Structure 1
Amino acid sequence: MLTVEEFLAYSIHLEAEAAARFGELADAMENGGNKEVAELFRRLANYSRMHLADAQARSGFRDIPKLEPQDFVWPDLESPESAAIWGADPMLGRGEALQVALAAETAGHDYYKSVLDTTDDPEVKRFAAAFVAEEAGHVAELKKWIAAHETGKTGTAD
């Protein structure tokens, strides 16, 4: 990641896709009667929307490159934080849904961490560090949910 503008273009795309996918997962869980996990997925979608708004606000006065979906180079086929589409299966169990969310948030964290570790630009480092910290919080929250689920607790892990 060579410039802040490139970082912001990638972040805007990544967070928009994550918000959309978590919204789809929330809808699927709600339709399947799993209201607690639906609420969690909605919370994660909202986190992604907040990150998106932050990236958009930071890009306000900058000339952000207009990239087409095929122009993005991701570590995998999709942007890192796009939860697996099969996670929208309404028959998905609670534990599986939580694992889908954890995988997406971990991939988002790892992506921003790789940017932080490889960029030489101090401003990109500062932005990436903030995104790493936020994603780490999401990963930690999901691990609490999974631990609660594995001990038979229902509802939130808060």
Structure 2
Amino acid sequence: MSLLKAEPPAPVRSPDELFALAHALEAEAATRYAELANQMEELNLPEVAAVFHHLVAEERGHAAHVEDWARGTIGTPPDPARIRWQPPETFDEEEARQIASSRLASAYRALSMAVRNEERAFALWTYIAAQAETPAIRAAAERMAGEELHHAALLRRARRHAYHAEREPVASAGRPSALARAAQAEAKLAAVLPALASGDEVLAPHSAELRRLGEAAAAMGREAAALAGDDRAAVPAGDAGQDRLQEVLRLSEQAAEAYLDAAEAGRDEDRVRRLQSLAKDAIARVAVLRRLTKMI
């Protein structure tokens, strides 16, 4: 699962803090990719090193964009002193170590790691938007989330080219398609969430929000099934009443990941954009559910 293991520990409360956090994340990614580029050169893997050098340039470009945005909005460049807490990790240290120590490193593996890093950054900004206490912070965080999602889409495209160039093995034939998995998860959520809203005294104060999420899940499940071309994909299975909030959270993360997988495989740009929008909604739902788990 490529989403964050934990949500941000506190809301972002000012534009200064938001820009400082955004710039720090981009600069940190550039530094880590530069280290990996050097390590790939030491392993005599110039093609993989070139991928990481390209990622360094991309991340530095993103950091420069944040600097320009900050100057245009608050009149000053991002100030790291404005960051009040350590953000959840978006760069996969373990995967980076594995790549750095292996002669099996490839452009595909490098780009796969970069895609997952961007997806975690997207999730982080979606959580920050969900926690925002003012419309301005929410709008800025949503813009950052959209930019990270765009970066991930570009990297997925490059990863597809690397995949075909390296002729990596295809996924197992028996596994359901990404959209079928998303539709099934949404259908289960559409049954589970209203059951939690009406059958759990602890969650009773949040029943309206849980029902709203259930209605949204039903609609998203129907859309995912239609995009999959299989109405049966949306049929839920099992006893929804036995599921608890942690299971709902797990299903929501599964749906978000499935939408991202489906977007990666898409070729039609309109379809990809719709799948990315579904992914954004699914990750926003994860943020809401994480907030509920903290409240009860």
Letter in 1 for 2:55: L
> CA 1:131–1:63 in 2, change beyond 3 Å: closer, same or farther?
same
Which among 143, 146, 151 is matched to residue 129 of structure 1?
146
Which among 83, 91, 104 is matched to residue 117 of structure 2?
104
Relative contact order higher in (CA < 8 Å, ≥ 6 apart): 1
Shift of 1:18: 0.4
Aligned match of 1:156: none
Does the 8 Å contact 1:14/1:82 carry over to 2? no
Once the two structures are aligned, what percentage of the paired residues are identical?
Answer: 22
Letter in 2 for 1:73: Q
Could you tell me how far apart the structure 1 residues matched to 2:19 and 2:157 are? Answer: 25
Could you tell me how far apart the structure 1 residues matched to 2:161 and 2:92 are? Answer: 21
Aligned match of 1:114: 127
Does the 8 Å contact 2:118/2:151 carry over to 1? no
Question: 2:61 aligned with 1:50, yes or no?
Answer: yes
> CA 1:144–1:75 in 2, change beyond 3 Å: closer, same or farther?
farther
TM-score normalized by the length of structure 1: 0.72
Aligned match of 1:16: 27
Which structure 1 residue ranges, 5 or more long, are not aligned? Answer: 153-158
Which among 145, 149, 152 is matched to residue 162 of structure 2?
145
Aligned match of 1:2: 13
- CA-based RMSD: 3.0
Shift of 1:147: 5.0
Higher percent of residues as helix: 2
Higher-Rg member (1/2):
2
